[in-house]
Amino acid sequence: MNKFLIVLILISTPAAAEWTMIQTSDNENVYVDFDTLQKNGNLVTVSTLNDYYLGQHKKELSTQFTELHDCKNKKFKALAISYFSENMAKGNVIEMSSFNEPEISWSGIVNYSVGELKANIICSR
């Protein structure tokens, strides 16, 4: 492969997530990376981020999720979770978990919650 093609591939590959804030509160900001959104019928997979003002249980300042949303039945599940030592999914990875999708149970979306807001935005894309 020639050097020009390698440079072109590196330039066109995003170096970091393109986070869009969808909600803010006294404790955290919630973001979605719409560039990761993939639809398959009523199912949508997307990366989300909770960015905290203060350290949480694992001393993390941010948590990134890969989520699967069932837009028709208003439910979701986490496929992967990564906890970061710094804000905006930066710093050291404190802990990382991936889940086998068929083995993870669905969670219902709570009315009037940040989860409902997030699901509505994700499913409307």
Q: What is the pLDDT of residue 17?
A: 86
Phi first, then psi: what are they for 19, rounded to 5°? -80, 135
* Cα gap 10→50, rounded to integer Å: 28
Residue of 37, 38, 67 whose CA lies nearest to 50? 67
Q: What is the pLDDT of residue 116?
A: 96
| In 25-125, alpha helices (H) | 114-123
Rounded to two decimals, the pTM is 0.84
User: Does the pLDDT of residue 95 top 80, yes or no?
Assistant: yes
Using one digit for the tens of pLDDT, what is the confidence trace for 10-62? 333 334 789 999 999 999 999 999 999 999 999 999 999 999 999 999 999 99
- Give the CATH fold of the 22-123 domain: Lipocalin (2.40.128)
Residue 88, sorted as left (phi over 0), alpha (psi -120 to 50) or beta, turns out to be left
User: Does the pLDDT of residue 5 top 80, yes or no?
Assistant: no
User: Does the pLDDT of residue 64 top 80, yes or no?
Assistant: yes
Residue 109 · residue 115 · CB < 8 Å: yes
